[in-house]
Amino acid sequence: MSLFAPKGEWLSEPGLRLFWQPHFLTQTLADQYLQTLQQLAWQQGEITLYGKTYQEPRLSIYCGDEGAHYSYSQKNMQPRPWHPLLLSLKDLLSQQFNAPFNAVLCNYYRNGQDGMGWHSDDEPELGPSPTIASLSFGATRRFVLRSKHDHTQKRSFHLNHGSLLLMAGDTQQHWQHAVPKTQTAITSRINLTFRTINPR
């Protein structure tokens, strides 16, 4: 059985380079993977902004090769060892996109009140033009991009169960992205972002 349902497409314009494949995984595989992923040791992280500590509005877990330390929002994250499913997805995506992924940040959005605010994945250890592969499972959530130069310039995707969205090229330099909270009653969603962490 092929993992790959219909092909995806590259969306390229100056400063924005994306690859979108809504049915990257078959429904059966996506269902099976979601069940496994729900059993990971999810934790609610904290962020400190201007001396005040907040609980993140989502659960997360960071896995990767030994030494793939990642810091964001003043948090220094030590990778946990690879879960076998995450490792096999990492290998598959690395091969497919010719990118040496060595870590994955997993996020668990429990309901519409969980989300992720505007940011770019532009931490120094990702390098200037990171390739980031994002796989989604469970409830469909809106993923929005906006230009850093003109916030009215937006692109929006509905990241469905089994979909793949890849961000590449200069995207992180010129665009921010977010997963907005929603009042709509929705079930949980899991997102995996595979990344390449360069040694400091």
Ligand X SMILES: O=C(O)CCC(=O)C(=O)O
Contact positions toward ligand X, by CB under 6 A?
105, 107, 116, 121, 134, 143, 159, 177, 179, 191, 193
To the nearest whole angstrom, how small is the minimum distance from the Cβ of residue 105 to ligand X? 5
Helix-helix angle 84-97:27-37, to 10 degrees: 130
Nearest to 121 by CA among 20, 194, 41: 194
**Pick 31 or 121: Cβ nearer Fe ion:** 121
**Pick 3 or 47: Cβ nearer Fe ion:** 47
**Pick 51 or 93: Cβ nearer ligand X:** 93
Evaluate whether 33 touches 39 at the Cβ level (below 8 Å).
no
To the nearest whole angstrom, how small is the minimum distance from the Cβ of residue 188 to Fe ion? 19
To the nearest whole angstrom, how small is the minimum distance from the Cβ of residue 19 to ligand X? 14
Q: What is the dihedral of CA 183, 184, 188, 194, to 10 degrees?
A: -70
H-only helix segments in 38-170 = 84-97
Which of the choices ligand X, Fe ion, none does residue 122 contact, using the CB cut-off of 5 to 8 A by kind? none
Residue number of the CB atom closest to Fe ion: 121
Here the tokens at position 178 are 């977010």
Count other C-beta atoms under 10 Å from residue 60's C-beta: 17
Which of the choices ligand X, Fe ion, none does residue 134 contact, using the CB cut-off of 5 to 8 A by kind? ligand X
Which of the choices ligand X, Fe ion, none does residue 191 contact, using the CB cut-off of 5 to 8 A by kind? ligand X
To the nearest whole angstrom, how small is the minimum distance from the Cβ of residue 191 to ligand X? 3
Q: Provide DSSP, 16-52.
A: EEEEEETTSS-HHHHHHHHHHHTTS--B--EEEETTE
To the nearest whole angstrom, how small is the minimum distance from the Cβ of residue 121 to Fe ion? 4
Residue number of the CB atom closest to ligand X: 191
Which of the choices Fe ion, ligand X, none does residue 107 contact, using the CB cut-off of 5 to 8 A by kind? ligand X
Here the tokens at position 2 are 């092929």
**Pick 82 or 191: Cβ nearer ligand X:** 191
Helix %, strand %, coil % of the chain (to 5):
15, 40, 45
Count other C-beta atoms under 10 Å from residue 150's C-beta: 8
Task: List interacting residues with Fe ion (CB under 5 A).
Answer: 121
